[in-house]
Amino acid sequence: MRAAEIKFILAEAAQKGWNVGTTAEEAYNEGIDLSLAENKVIDDKYKTQSNVKWNGDIKRLYLQKWIALYKDGHEAWAESRRTDVPLMAPAPASPYPGHNRPPFRYPYPASEARLNGANSKPFAANVKDNYWGQQMWWDTRKNVK
């Protein structure tokens, strides 16, 4: 877990009313600073942009966290499924036309059945569609088809 991600988690908790020893705005700004520093980006004006500057909007926080997670593709994807930010359409050449969001999940790799067959085979027997069958319990997106 990256330091920036921790700050964004604290910012979200503070924004939702939890006492985490900092304000949502402070943790949000620190998260951005850590993300920029980790990626060796020097931009003193980034946080002053109207679409970045803290304004209490939780979706803005989610977007900055998603940006900070770009090196961790699976984490960023999980965050976008949890928050529906950013709102992403499926790829234009998707083999699954008719869907308005990226999939709920991806199938386990073949190695999972080989290395953990006792647990994975009963699970796989109940899955009708690995991609669109059922949202994860923490996937809060609405109106996904």
Domains of the chain as residue ranges with CATH = 3-83 (1.20.120.840)
Residues near 49 by Cβ (< 8 Å), separated by ≥ 6? none
* CA–CA distance, 130 with 145 (Å, rounded to integer): 14
Neighbours of 63 (CB within 10 A): 18
Mean pLDDT (the chain, rounded):
89
* CA–CA distance, 16 with 23 (Å, rounded to integer): 11
* pLDDT tens per residue, range 48-89: 999 999 999 999 999 999 999 999 998 998 899 899 899 887
Per cent of the chain over pLDDT 90 is 57
* CA–CA distance, 17 with 12 (Å, rounded to integer): 9
